[in-house]
Amino acid sequence: MGGIAVLAKAAGHRVTGCDANVYPPMSTQLGAQGIELIEGFDPAQTKLNPDIYVIGNVVSRGNPLMEEILNQGLPYISGPQWLAENVLQGKWVLAVAGTHGKTTTSSMLAWILEYAGLAPGFLIGGVPENFAVSARLPQVPPQLTPSPLQGEGKGGGSASGNQPPSPQPSPSKGEENMSPFFVIEADEYDTAFFDKRSKFVHYRPRTAVLNNLEFDHADIFEDLDAIEKQFHHLVRTVPQQGLVVANGKEASLQRVIDKGCWTPVEKFGTDADWQAANAQGDGSFDVLYKGKPQGRVAWNLLGEHNRMNALASIAAGRHAGVAVEVSIAALTEFKNVKRRMETRGEVNGVTVYDDFAHHPTAIETTVAGLLAKFGSARILAVLEPRSNTMKLGVMKKALPVSLKEADLVFCFSANLGWDATEALAPISSKTQVHDDLNQLVTAITQAAKSGDHVLVMSNGGFGGVHQKILDALKEV
């Protein structure tokens, strides 16, 4: 919703917003854009008399402002529908869906298109460090000087693995010079209290990335089959001249495609069209397309999940006309996303990281990535089970396995509907559970030693615990 607000402001609208709690990096971004934030949902906000209320899916019946909007018969629309009608119409939409990696892969793909001189618009659920904003409208592409290797600009040419882009939608009037491309993080969560379809069915992508698919969002989906059905609704919207880029290792995604697909499919992963090979400890790896080497990505992002994200973004970029070697060069300069293994500071030899991981699979992958980078160094995992699914306790039995590689585990248990101590009993010898944030910080700083890596994982602000830990370490 913060990203949609940024897009609306850039399109020339006056925008205000309200929420129960707004925290960095989104609060910082909105303030920098001059977007007024109002704390809470006071019905008196209707006196602002806006042309329309754009409603996010956090708002439910009983919300005092929403009830006043309904009582007065005021105009309202969901965020995804407003976006589809006012921003995405007529664009070549590249949508990235999946349980994990949506934000990172969307950021990689947007950067690939930007590096290639295609000046895309984008809406991402995080802040890519290559852009420093989470959303922007399509830009006017710069004039590029042709190079012998790449033909007409970085995105052209006939490099191995490249293909001409499929026909583009017609640009809207007055936007003829703007880039036709728009990259969007495509979430399967429901759209709004009045529209229970997944958000991504509104986006009508020409290029659809299906990164992976596991059970999540237990508050709205009964089981994995229910989520697969929503993913198939997305596949149904991709045109014949489009492309579906799918993780070849995921049986769940194959089931989605088997339900019916009218679009070419390219797969990435093991025994797929796109593969990663010769991965090294520094993060670098070779890119193969149909078994043929395309080049080597030289970066410092670690883990198989990031290699898979890279393959997906390269395949999607190729569909938009970006030569594979250009995508590889772009990824070499990719700077990752805020709150994705973001270093927040170092005090007395103890490094503190912030990561968005909140699903057990993401937690395990994040811990493994840090372990691969630092080997024998101790990892102190700090977890806030904050997502709706985690609060329900649906994933609690998977937590001990996801945290098994951490040396010490600290869990914040406030506002949980289940017993975290009981759930983490299989790893109790290295685990502490606290429902008081200050006590949690004290326990972490007392345990930390020089050379340790403190990995904080939450999909929320976590009470500013990262800075609290850094400040407390200065006092030790």
Lowest model confidence (mean pLDDT) among 126-130, 246-250, 361-365, 401-405? 361-365
Site of tokens 């990505």: 297
Q: What is the pLDDT of residue 461?
A: 76
CA atoms of 84 and 111, how far apart (whole Å):
22
Query: Mean pLDDT, to the nearest integer, of 338-363?
Result: 83
Q: Is 51 exposed, middle or buried (0-12, 13-18, 19+ CB in 10 A)?
A: exposed
Confidence (pLDDT) at 452: 93
Q: Considering only 1-5, 293-297, 321-325, which range has the smallest mean pLDDT?
A: 1-5
Distance CA 373, CA 224 (A): 33
What sign does the dihedral 354-355-358-363 (CA atoms) show?
Answer: negative
Peptide bond into 25 cis (omega under 30): yes
In 279-297, which positions are buried (b, 16+ CB within 10 angstroms) versus exposed (e)? beeebbbbbbbeeeebbeb
Pair of tokens at residue 11? 């399109």
Strand partners, 75: none
- Whether the per-residue pLDDT at 431 is higher than 70: the answer is yes
Q: Which residues contact 79 (CB under 8 A, 6 or more apart)?
A: 1, 4, 54, 55, 56, 57, 191, 192, 199
Return the pLDDT at 296.
96
DSSP state, 168? P
Compute the average pLDDT of residues 350-361: 84
Residue tagged 């700077």 (tokens): 335
Which pLDDT score is estimated for 302? 77
What tens digit of pLDDT does each residue of 394-408 get?
778 888 988 988 999
Helix axes 102-115, 304-319, angle to 10 degrees: 50
Report the pLDDT averaged over residues 100-109: 92
The candidate with the shortest Cα–Cα distance to 124, out of 276, 338, 401, is: 338
What pLDDT is recorded for position 352?
Answer: 93
What is the predicted pLDDT for the residue at 397? Answer: 84
Domains of the chain: 2-74 (3.40.50.720), 82-144+151-332 (3.40.1190.10), 342-475 (3.90.190.20)
Most confident of 349-358, 391-400, 450-459: 450-459
Cα–Cα distance measured from residue 6 to residue 123, given in angstroms and rounded to the nearest whole number: 9
**Band of the pLDDT at 36, cuts 50, 70, 90?**
confident
Mean pLDDT of the region 442-466: 89
E strand or H helix at 27: helix 26-32
Structure confidence at residue 366 (pLDDT)? 81
Region 292-317 average pLDDT: 92
Which pairs count as long-range contacts for 30-37, CB under 8 Å and 24+ apart, including other chains? 30/2, 30/5, 30/6, 33/5, 33/6, 33/9, 34/9, 35/5, 35/6, 35/9
- Give yes or no for residue 337 having a pLDDT over 80: no
Confidence class for position 263, pLDDT limits 50, 70, 90: very high
The predicted pLDDT at position 183 comes to: 98
Average pLDDT over residues 292-313: 91
Residue 333: helix, strand or coil by DSSP?
coil
Closest CA to 248 of 272, 284, 278, 215: 272
| 3-class DSSP string for 178-194 | CCCEEEEECCCCEEECC
DSSP secondary structure string for all residues of 425-439: GGGGGGEEEESSHHH
Q: Which helix (H) or strand (E) covers residue 288, if one does?
A: strand 285-289
281 band by pLDDT with thresholds 50, 70 and 90:
confident
Q: Is-contact 107 337, C-beta < 8 A? A: yes
Q: Which range scores top for mean pLDDT: 105-109, 338-342, 469-473?
A: 105-109
Q: How far apart are the C-alpha atoms of 309 and 296, rounded to whole Å? A: 15
AA identity, residue 274: W
Closest alpha carbon to 26 in 16, 37, 39: 37
Question: What is the rounded distance in angstroms from the CA atom of residue 111 to the CA atom of residue 333?
Answer: 9
Element (H, E) at 354: strand 350-355
Angle at CA of residue 473, ends 470 and 476, nearest 5°: 165
pLDDT of residue 160: 46
Helix (H) or strand (E) holding 467: helix 465-475
Mean pLDDT, rounded, of the chain: 87
**Could you tell me which residue, 467 or 176, shows the higher pLDDT?**
467
The closest alpha carbon to 104, from 334, 294, 320, 326, belongs to 334
Q: What percentage of the chain exceeds 70 in pLDDT?
A: 89
- H helices of 186-264, in order, are 224-235, 251-258
C-alpha neighbours within 13 Å on the C-beta side of residue 452: 25
- The pLDDT assigned to 219 comes to 64
163-185 tens-digit pLDDT: 545 556 655 555 678 999 999 99
Cα–Cα distance between 304 and 308 in angstroms, integer? 6
Q: What is residue 147's predicted lDDT score, i.e. its pLDDT?
A: 36
- The residue-averaged pLDDT of 38-48 equals 93
Confidence category of residue 218, pLDDT binned at 50, 70, 90: low
- Please tell me the least confidently modeled range out of 148-152, 212-216, 231-235, 421-425: 148-152
C-alpha span between 234 and 202 (Å, rounded): 9
Quick one: angle between helices 304-319 and 324-332, nearest 10?
140
Find which of 49-63, 222-236, 358-372, 451-465 is predicted with most confidence, using mean pLDDT.
49-63
Question: Distance between CA atoms of 455 and 409, rounded to whole angstroms?
Answer: 10
What pLDDT score does 151 carry? 34
Considering all CA atoms of the chain, what is the largest pairwise distance in Å, rounded to the nearest integer?
A: 65
More confident residue, 2 or 293: 293
